Structure 1
Amino acid sequence: MNESLDLQFGTSLDSLSTKYRTLQKLGEGGTANTYLVLASSGEFRGQLFALKLFRRLSKPEWRDNFLQEVAFLKSCSHPSVMRVYDEGIFLDKLPFVVAEYPPSTLATALRMNPGMMAKMAYSIQLLSALEYLSRPQIQVIHRDIKPPNIFIKGGSCVLGDFGLMKRLKDSSKGDLNRIKASFGPRMPRRYRTPDLVNYFKGGPVPTEKSDIFQLGIVFVEMFTGKNPQKPMQNFRDPIQMNNFKIEGGMGPLLMELITPMLHLNPSRRPAASALLSTWQELFLEAAKRSHALEGRVV
């Protein structure tokens, strides 16, 4: 099977219960391609989904990781974590997973300059997702949090693309080559964390605090319009950050909450649960003001 496989319009992929027809390619990653598909039979006939198709047959260990991602997402029950509906095998070789299809990403939404309350709503939903992932019975780190992997549907914000996920209880470094292969031309390189850089250099496996750092970068980009991380020459280069300032009446408070998320020392970054509690209080206060002034929240 050609690993540069690119499905044509109308290609049929069948699960045990549903036939899917490809409509267009949505993206390409290190291990899988994602397509917009139509369910043309079964319980969800007439619905649009995102179908992620594994394509790296030369890497059987990566297939195992893909199947672990599918199994994890099937077990999730959080509204801000991508929902999976179905799975199957294409051509008896290539596993695929069928997930919800939010029509926009945060990268697209930010180009439309959403209002402050919308940004605040996205923030608390993403922190809620990280709190969920850090629960003792889950303990998963995402490792690839960036605007193109965050999906928007109305006022809802969903964290997706768990292709680089790792369970915290797995302290092995067997996936290092897979991560290195994923940081190709299509991988934005300004969402690195000190933890990931250290991992590349032979250091310990990153913890959930790496996700906190990545989300902090996303928050700065969301509230200032600019990614604060300086461009790199090599992935192993030290992390360097530009100074940033969040304007407006809530700016100082947001700066106070975001800055600790970007501490170079993971142990100095707050946990998702603590962040969510503080952000939720700020959101409720901002919502109260918005409702008093405009009669609505978002």
Structure 2
Amino acid sequence: MLIAGRYRLRDTIGRGAMGEVWRAFDETLGRPVAVKLLLPHDSDPTAPSRFRLEAQTAGRLSHPHVVAVLDFGEHEDRLFLVMELVEGDSLADRLTVSGPLPAELVAQIAAQAALGLAAAHQQGIVHRDIKPANLLLGADGTLKIGDFGIARFLDDPGAALTATGQIVGTSLYLAPERALGRTAGPASDVYSLGCLLYQLLTGRPPFQADTALAVLHQHLDAAPVPPRRLGADLPPAFESYLLGLLAKEPESRPTAEEVADWFERGAWRGAREPLPNEHQHHGRPDRPLVTGSRAAAPASSLSASTAHSDRAFTPVPDTEWRTSVHRAATRRSHLPFLRRSRLVAVLGGAGLFTLALVVGMVWFSPGTGSAQGPQTTRSTSTSPATPSPSASYETAFSPPAQPAEQKPERAPEVTPGPKKANKPGKRKH
């Protein structure tokens, strides 16, 4: 079949809810291309508008890690979109054939996908549907992001073309804020990327359930099991940073640009580092470290950030955590301080009581203080007095009895001698 007099369709290479993708050849320019044809959508009047939006959105981007849009038009009442042809498989196909991927390859995918997302975000575009089926890995190892069908412009909230209150996207990779019906932002794409990387490493998404609603609840309230507990072979730094990408709060995640920088620098090979946003929640983890790659310095960007801190990732016995990583970490981080405060209060009270007791004993003890009267008799006994064991507490601290009144002894009389009269004014020589 020849489309628009120049694109000859050869065979189908993919099919989605909105259209089917063909391998084709551009006879005008003599090069292979991919042509996406819009499927009939009689029950969905917004389908043509969304298809045009995809063309406009992707056409606004020109980046090595984003599938390029080459042409757009209509043929026999069917809209078509011409894109560059990526010779390779989607990550969904790769997972089906190979299962979990090695950490080295996943790190390369992470860096490239983050670069593509960063380019989109800089143009004010949020993809909103990052998942394995929408990321294509070429034969040469180059990754490209495709399918901007439900993307939106940050400066045009109405561009999503969805019904009021409808959540668009795939529940397995949906950010918590979107599960709450909030507007998607760049951080939402970063969360979806984290879910995708988690699946590439473990073979399963971070959250699974029988219904989409149950999955959304897990995105909101559950913490993912650390990948290494599921058998993933990856360095501690990689695991820590990945969990930081899955932070529940958007502001706790690194930006796409920071993610790309962190993986490109090879920081994922190192030992566990603070989560990007841990230092905000623990005295900081927690915005992901905000130095260079908030992600690198932090987990590298994930605090003594955070993270997304082994205490923040302690699973319950059934491996499903009941509270968010950051809320749990915050509560635990304050416990030592509270215990120290209680100990200081108890010791302080005991010290004051002891001091008061000693002062009282000194004040009222016999043989000391002003309460003791003058002693006029000497004891003739050489043995110490033994207090009666039955003496009461009050008796032991009673002041001593006053001694009996005694008659004062008469002072010896002195007889004065005869007085000599001295004449005034005369001095005897």
Q: TM-score, normalised by structure 1?
A: 0.77
Contact 1:150 1:158 in 2 (8 A): yes
Q: 2:52 aligns with which of 67, 72, 94?
A: 67
Using the alignment, how far apart are the partners of 1:242 and 1:264 within structure 2? 11
- Of 57-66 and 265-274, the range deviating more from structure 2: 57-66
**Deviation of 1:139 (Å):** 1.0
1:244 correspondence with 2:231: no
Q: Which structure's CA Rg is the greater one?
A: 2
Residue correspondence of structure 1 range 50-129 to structure 2 within 5 A: 50-56=35-41, 59-91=44-76, 93-102=77-86, 103-110=88-95, 111-112=97-98, 113-129=100-116
Quote the residue 1:289 is aligned against. Answer: none
Q: Which amino acid aligns with 1:142?
A: H
Q: 2:121 touches 2:186 (CA, 8 Å); kept in 1?
A: yes
- Counterpart secondary structure, 2:20: strand
| 151, 160, 163: which one aligns with 2:136 | 151
C-alpha distance in structure 2 between counterparts of 1:268 and 1:284, whole Å? 19
Distance 1:248 1:23, change over 3 A: closer
Deviation at 1:68, TM superposition (A): 2.2
Cα deviation, 1:97-122, whole Å, max 9, x if unaligned, reads 01123230111223325443222211
Q: Which residue is equivalent to 1:160?
A: 146
Residues 1:261 and 2:245 aligned together: yes
Q: Secondary structure at 1:127's aligned position in 2?
A: helix
In structure 1, distance between residues paired with 2:235 and 2:172: 23
Secondary structure of the residue aligned to 1:82 is coil
* Change in 2 beyond 3 A, CA 1:101/1:174: closer
Q: Is the 8 A contact 2:226 2:243 kept in 1?
A: no
Instruction: After TM superposition, list the pairs within 5 Å mapping 1:208-227 onto structure 2.
Output: 208-227=186-205
Amino acid at match of 1:166: R
Tell me the amino acid that sits aligned with residue 163 of structure 1: G
Q: Is it true that 1:271 corresponds to 2:274 in the alignment?
A: no
Q: Give 3-state SS (helix, strand or coil) of 1:176's partner.
A: coil
- Following superposition, the deviation at residue 248 of structure 1 comes to 7.2
Corresponding residue SS for 1:219: helix
Following the alignment from structure 1 to structure 2, what is the Cα–Cα distance between the partners of residues 141 and 65? 14
Structure 1 residues 219 and 73: alpha-carbon distance in aligned structure 2, compared to 1, 3 A threshold: same
Q: Which residue in the other structure is 1:3 paired with?
A: none
**Alignment identity in percent?**
20
Which segments of structure 1 move beyond 6 Å, counting only runs of 4 or more? 283-286
Question: What is the alpha-carbon distance in structure 1 between the residues aligned to residue 165 and residue 138 of structure 2?
Answer: 29
- Provide closer, same or farther for how the CA distance between residues 174 and 248 of structure 1 changes in structure 2, counting only shifts above 3 A: closer
Q: Distance in 1 between matches of 2:60 and 2:160?
A: 24
SS of equivalent residue, structure 1 residue 88: strand
- Once the two structures are superposed, residues 107-150 of structure 1 have per-residue CA deviations (whole angstroms, 9 ceiling, x without a partner) of 12233254432222111000101111111xx1111111110111
Instruction: Supply the distance in 1 between the matched residues of 2:121 and 2:112 (Cα, whole angstroms).
Output: 14
**Corresponding residue number in structure 2 for 1:193:** 175
User: What is the number of residues matched between the two proteins?
Assistant: 260
